[in-house]
Structure 1
Amino acid sequence: MILKVKNANPAVHNGGFASRKKAKGRMAYLMLSPQIIGFFVFSLYPILWAAQKAFYYYNTIPNDTRFAGLENFKRVITSDPTYWNTWLTTLKFALYKMPVEIILALVIAIFLNRNIKFKGFYRAVYFLPHIVSVAIVGLIFSNLFDYFGFVNAILLKFGIIKQEISWFSETFTSLSVLVTAGIWSTFGINVLYFIAALSNVPEELYEAAELDGAGAMRKFTSVTLPMIAPVFQTILLLSLNGTLQTNEIVLALSNGAPAGSTYTVMSYQVSQFVPGFSTGIVNIGYGCAMSLVTSVIMTAAAVVYSKLSNKMQNMY
């Protein structure tokens, strides 16, 4: 008589496999736990806290918290023209900064993608401003554009101006300084993104285009742009997101001067949370309501961009 033992070894093997799978799962959760904890502590909790405080008159004075309902939101939307003016300033800032920043980064990336000497050094030089703190950037540009600073001295020397310019006394000149500082501090990272994209374009495509008689501009429009289009869209999104959230550079350089006309949306929100930036009166509940309204607007802008981006991808 022959005895058959069923599922003896499979049970052992399945048990071992299951235990290893559980161990890997626990390890994965352990590795992800810092990011998960960081998300809850630094993202989700502040959002929920702000959402709750937005319905209150809330400031730093003890026992001075009262339920406001939708009053804070109503004030943001209908009774605070400064808030909507800061949106206009932010859009101007984006309109002036982004085209120059992206085009300049692309041109420099094309140059650095060639076989030139000291390529690594140039890449480091262009990337360096990106890692400089905003406080240092503010100090550099506030000295450059001081009334008796380097820029005025150069312009006077070459006869471009007849007297010193007070750069932060007029809205246009103050915004121009902010745009210049913003471009200088952020375009370096875009250079690296473009270099990475350009290095992945097959050289055979350029050779085929040359055989067809394509010139430099034709190769750029027919080969380079279509091949780097996905990266270009990503850079555009990151640049737009960063520009709309511009805050520190404004506070470090102009602090809204003159008369708050160069406040961006984010820097104006800070002025509502921190007394002394504008009115000297803090209303955290109102600032929370403003931040939620801003989040809704930016989310809508992201949805619109996503749809336009999909259309651009279909074009290529």
Structure 2
Amino acid sequence: MNIRSRTNIISWSFVSIAIVMISIFYFYPMIDALILSFKAGLGNNLNFVGFDNYKRLFTDSTFRVALANTSIYLIVQVPLMIALSMIISVLLNDRNLKFKGFFRTAIFLPAVTSLVAYSVVFKALFSPDGLINTLLVKLHLVNAPIQWLTDPFWAKVTIILAITWRWTGYNMIFYLSALQNIDHSIYEAARIDGASAVKQFTKITIPLLKPIILFTSITSTIGTLQLFDEVVNITKGGPGNATTTLSHYIYNLSFKYTPDFGYAATVSYAIVILIVIFSIIQFRVGGDRKDG
């Protein structure tokens, strides 16, 4: 056996461990869940029913409500968070700004806090007698406390504020890293030519950040479509199902209602399909177009 063959064997022996682990803990559950989505029954007493579960999606009112709620979070929160992340990163990239390290750390810190812990804090802040309502009433901005957690509209606003607070700093890091790789002389040349700060942002910063915008948009979309912790811990999906998401509905189907693992797997693959669709759209809209 020559050295090259021996090296290949040793290399594959290391890679094979990862392949086996990924196959067991990633690919096998995905395939098993797909098979499970074609079955129905109570508990583990499941029978093959073909596409009945997928047909059920179109007549399931709770699924439609959960899909609508998730879509609202996606349409409102993701663009808001991406815009805030870019603006904050531009401000923190200013060479003349003092205490940049402190501000960057402070804004990023929410991303490393416990999902449950920060959700409980938000629930306390937005409770009827919480700090937010107390401040709003004392400042005479409202006449009575806002029902942040029990009103369908304000409950959605609370969830959007919570996930925006947590993930804006996380996305900011990507934009900040990209901005630091942009030659500062480009901005100096633009200023000499009389370009305003807004024009520099729209004509220089955004085009140069296009790959990062695409990346953060896709990852944020995936995260929002899988939104679970905040809804469960802040509003418990209420009032009624006003804030229930698809992931929360999957949990309810599996553990809260009479266990229906087959249909829960079907809803899970509905999320997969949505992620694929939105990712393709974002690649089409934000990807580089090369003429053939």
Determine if the TM-score, normalized by the shorter chain, exceeds 0.5: yes
Whole-angstrom CA distance in 2 between matches of 1:306 and 1:155? 42
RMSD of aligned Cα (Å): 2.1
SS at match of 1:57: strand
Q: Which of 200, 207, 212 pairs up with 2:181?
A: 200
Post-superposition offset of 1:118 = 2.2
Q: 1:66 to 1:246 in 2, by over 3 A?
A: same
Unaligned 5+ runs, structure 2: none
Whole-angstrom CA distance in 1 between matches of 2:25 and 2:63? 25
Post-superposition offset of 1:30 = 4.5
Give the structure with higher Rg (CA).
1
1:109 aligns with 2:89: yes
* Residue of structure 2 in register with 1:230 after alignment: 211
1:89 aligns with 2:73: no
Deviations 1:191-235 (A, max 9, x none): 111111111111121222223222222222222222222112212
* Residue of structure 2 in register with 1:310 after alignment: 287
Whole-angstrom CA distance in 2 between matches of 1:117 and 1:107? 17
Q: Check whether the contact 2:246–2:267 (CA below 8 A) recurs between aligned residues.
A: no
Q: Which of 40, 60, 74 pairs up with 2:43?
A: 60
Whole-angstrom CA distance in 1 between matches of 2:21 and 2:157? 37
Post-superposition offset of 1:137 = 1.5
Whole-angstrom CA distance in 1 between matches of 2:146 and 2:250? 30
Q: 1:27 to 1:314 in 2, by over 3 A?
A: same
* Residue of structure 1 in register with 2:278 after alignment: 301
Q: Which amino acid aligns with 1:36?
A: I
Between stretches 119-128 and 170-179, larger displacement belongs to 119-128
TM-score, with normalisation over the residues of structure 2?
0.91
* Residue of structure 2 in register with 1:129 after alignment: 110
Whole-angstrom CA distance in 1 between matches of 2:154 and 2:147? 8
Paired residues for 1:1-316 under 5 Å: 18-19=2-3, 21-33=4-16, 35-60=18-43, 64-77=45-58, 79-115=59-95, 116-275=97-256, 280-310=257-287
TM-score, with normalisation over the residues of structure 1?
0.85
The alignment of Structure 1 onto Structure 2 pairs a total of residues equal to 290
Post-superposition offset of 1:301 = 2.3
Moved over 6 A (4+): none
Post-superposition offset of 1:31 = 4.4
Whole-angstrom CA distance in 1 between matches of 2:172 and 2:84? 8
Deviations 1:55-85 (A, max 9, x none): 2224336xx33332322222123x2022122
Between stretches 149-158 and 292-301, larger displacement belongs to 292-301
**Percent sequence identity over aligned pairs:** 26
Q: Which amino acid aligns with 1:150?
A: L
SS at match of 1:201: coil
Unaligned 5+ runs, structure 1: 1-14
Whole-angstrom CA distance in 1 between matches of 2:218 and 2:175? 14
Q: Check whether the contact 2:40–2:260 (CA below 8 A) recurs between aligned residues.
A: yes
Whole-angstrom CA distance in 1 between matches of 2:15 and 2:114? 29
